[in-house]
Structure 1
Amino acid sequence: MRCVVRVWSEVLRNDEVRGPAAEGFERVRASIADALRRGRAAGAVPAAVDPDRGARVVMGPLHGFLLQRVAFGLTDTAGLAGRPACRAALVMGGVGPSARANSR
């Protein structure tokens, strides 16, 4: 996992690394968005969640967890996966249709 953090630092300073990293980021983001779409279709993800914005909301904590684990040795994930907290972050945290209308 330490290599992930090192790659992030390279992305900031090296254009040759940035391109492939951006492509990888987009593949993961698109995969999460597709999973959220499937979840909406199955009724497991609230209809108010915009899958594309929701994917970005999901990726933020993933990157934060990786950094916390590598930099500080934190491995406790119990608080990261609480369904009520995740649902609130996705619906109330700016990824639903009403949040989009308010951000314009």
Structure 2
Amino acid sequence: MARVSQEHLDARRRQILDGAALCFARNGFHATSMQDVLKEVDLSAGAVYRYFSGKEELIAAIVTEVLQEVGDAFEAVGEQSPPPPPDVMVGQVMGRMLGLRPGLVEDGAAVFPRLIIQVWAETLRNDELAKVLNEGYAEVRQPWVRLVERYQAAGMMRADVPAESVARTMIAAAQGFVAQMALFGNAPVDILQDGLRGLMSLGGPAPRDPGGSQAG
């Protein structure tokens, strides 16, 4: 009997994960059954359970993979030398994330934003998933902090603001844009880039009076 190649096994696992992600993005984790997943991927129960013991394991695998992909996307952009401006960098990360899974498209729109919203909601009731998400967020945040420190050293960002605070705010901007896409429909990443560029154009703190006097 011919041995199944690793390439075939990897492709089958990818098929199951993508099909499950479509189901979860479409109907949420609780309204999606394993039967829904089997129907989506057009495989037998035995074929699917060979890779995943059930829905909870599928959910954990998808969340872990999404976090890894976010980290990889950021690392790829952050390794550029010199680093792209912050607005361009965030746009590149978002664009890479939205284009990672050509198969995760429904009605012409990427399902990644809807899937992310479902993941966030699920972590509010699932302690194990919340732990995975928290650990993944911590790992993803550190490269952002390092990049902000590079920006500050190059004079591209104010150095009087903690890099951690700037990094968390940049992540929040990306997360907020994902939420908008999930709730209100897909939008060009250019919108996020333009908005960040506008915010970055705000002036710095008012110069101090060397004599310490105040107008009055």
TM-score between both structures, scaled by the size of structure 1:
0.74
Take 2:148 and 2:161, find their aligned partners in 1: how far apart are those partners?
A: 8
Take 1:62 and 1:84, find their aligned partners in 2: how far apart are those partners?
A: 15
Q: Per-residue displacement from partner, 1:14-61 (whole Å, max 9, x unpaired)?
A: 001001100111112211111000111122122122100111111111
- The equivalent of 2:140 in structure 1 is 28
Question: AA paired with 1:37?
Answer: E
Provide the alpha-carbon RMSD of the alignment. 2.0
Q: Choose from 75, 79, 86 the match for 2:200.
A: 86
- The equivalent of 1:55 in structure 2 is 167
User: Which consecutive unaligned segments of at least 5 residues does structure 2 have?
Assistant: 1-111, 206-216
Take 1:46 and 1:60, find their aligned partners in 2: how far apart are those partners?
A: 19
Take 2:160 and 2:140, find their aligned partners in 1: how far apart are those partners?
A: 22
Question: AA paired with 2:128?
Answer: E
Secondary structure of 1:13's partner?
A: coil
Q: Choose from 146, 151, 156 the match for 1:39.
A: 151
TM-score between both structures, scaled by the size of structure 2:
0.38
Moved more, 77-86 or 37-46: 77-86
User: Which consecutive unaligned segments of at least 5 residues does structure 1 have?
Assistant: 93-104
Q: Per-residue displacement from partner, 1:53-74 (whole Å, max 9, x unpaired)?
A: 1111111111111111122114
Identity among equivalent pairs (%): 31
- The equivalent of 1:3 in structure 2 is 115
User: Whose RCO is larger (CA < 8 A, sep 6+)?
Assistant: 1
Take 2:198 and 2:146, find their aligned partners in 1: how far apart are those partners?
A: 21
Could you list the runs of 4 or more consecutive aligned residues of structure 1 that deviate by over 6 angstroms after TM superposition? none
Q: Aligned pair count?
A: 90
- The equivalent of 2:176 in structure 1 is 64
Question: AA paired with 1:63?
Answer: Q
**Where do residues 88-103 of structure 1 align in structure 2 (5 Å cutoff)?**
88=202
Q: Which has the larger radius of gyration?
A: 2
Question: AA paired with 1:86?
Answer: M
Cα distance, 1:79 vs. partner?
4.1
Take 1:26 and 1:44, find their aligned partners in 2: how far apart are those partners?
A: 24
